[in-house]
Amino acid sequence: MIAKASRRSWFIWSAAVIVYLLSVFHRASFGVAGLEAASRFGIGAAALSTFTVLQVGVYAAMQIPTGVLVDRFGPRRVLITALVFLGTGQMLLAVAQSYPLGLVARGVLGFGDALTFVSVLRLIAAHFPGRQYALVMSFTSAIGFLGNLAATVPLALLLRGPGWTPTFLVAGLMTTVYVTVVAARVKDTPAGPAPKAPAVRKRELLTQIASAWRVPGTRLGFWVHFTTMFAPNVLTLLWGVPFLVQGQGIAAETASALLTVFVFGSMAGGPLVGSLISRHPGWRMPMVGGYLGGAAAVWAVLLGWPGHIPLAVLIPAFAFLSMGGPASMIGFALARDYNPLQRVGTATGVVNCGGFVATTITALAVGVLLQVSGGDFRLALLSVVGVLALGTFRMLVWWRRARVALFVAQARGEQIPVQVRRRPWDAPMPEPARIPAAA
């Protein structure tokens, strides 16, 4: 157990978090480059959505394997590998002239992106005491959004100035060069390299994943992440600028500037949410519930507004939706609290799949609906409301089940992360003879 984080640990974290910043920049670059990509590759809305679906799909599929790789080889090596794939993918996209090659480039980039966040979280767990975990995690998320900021107005200006190939080629080269910094500065643990974990057999790995998935707190974290982060992702990664430009008649430069509302909102909200849930873990689910209720109201306003939506409505609406990123971090705190330490990496990977699975489904649904409706954004964005409703329902189901698991643990006299009291809406307690043994 770490008593206090050293200055060296903060330097190591600062070097590693830049990798996450770079990965978010590359991930979000299509948020303002979508229209240029459609023109460059000669594609429509459904084909354009495939770029994000592929990249985010690769990201989601790699989360659990990434946890295993980090356990096996240490976060430093995995971060170096991530930089190589990120840089290669972006440089390949810079020179791509055909749609298939562009898809390959985004797939390579998605693979590199998938390796970053879980690796940085593992470094935080190794270098900082448990009481600082949520706070440092929230700082990580906030700094990552600087990459998102760079992928809005600055990237839009570069695409209109130097152009597609020079912009993405330089971004890829700079990412690859940063390998030297990570190799020199990042250490797996305060003592140096992490001990190499033994190879995990396929059956043992599947058992570990299944064990994490069976924990109600893990399942709750998955649905929290699924429901809170996907809508901001869909707007910032792909459909925000097309919605504003083609659906609302806003100039492209203004649309890019509007996406910065998501960035600044998340940067401000991340540390705030992290500090609150560190001091008051019992506030976690009420905060999630409050955000989801507000998000439903925001989407009702955006999709029900007659005619073009004024900026005075769009800006506060986007500011509120931007809090979905910070709220999604609560899912990782749940994974850490409800799983034994040796399974936290796997549980974190499971939770991190949630929001990106939802993003993949929704981004594709929006593209398909735009294609079949002739560009009706109000109809297409109803898919966001549908996924939001599904995720909220499943989250409530697993919130009740996670509370039952806490009541069972309380009855055994075990230490639990959050003190709870039974409410009229809580599910019945299982019969004593049927209570499973503690994991």
Domain assignment of residue 248, yes or no: yes
Amino acid identity, position 217: G
| Per-chain mean pLDDT for the chain | 84
Q: How confident is the model at residue 141 (pLDDT cuts 50, 70, 90)?
A: confident
Give Cβ neighbours of residue 36 (< 8 Å, ≥ 6 apart): 159, 164
Which CATH number fits the domain that encloses residue 29? 1.20.1250.20
SS in 3 state form for 369-407? HHHHHCCCHHHHCHHHHHHHHHHHHHHHHHHHHHHHHHH
Domains contained in the chain, number? 1
pLDDT tens digits for 293-334?
Answer: 999 999 999 999 998 999 999 999 999 999 998 899 899 888
Pairwise CA distance, residues 428 & 215, whole Å: 18
Domain assignment of residue 340, yes or no: yes
Instruction: Output the CA–CA distances (angstroms, integers) from residue 371 to 45, 51, 252, 380, in the order listed.
Output: 6, 15, 21, 9
Read off the pLDDT of each residue in 187-206 and give the average, rounded to a whole number: 68
Domain assignment of residue 258, yes or no: yes
Domain assignment of residue 104, yes or no: yes
| Domain hosting residue 408, numbered range | 7-188+202-415
Domain assignment of residue 177, yes or no: yes
Domain assignment of residue 196, yes or no: no
HSE-CB for 132 with a 13 A CA cutoff:
19
Domain assignment of residue 2, yes or no: no
pLDDT tens digits for 55-80?
Answer: 888 888 888 888 778 877 888 999 99
Domain assignment of residue 423, yes or no: no
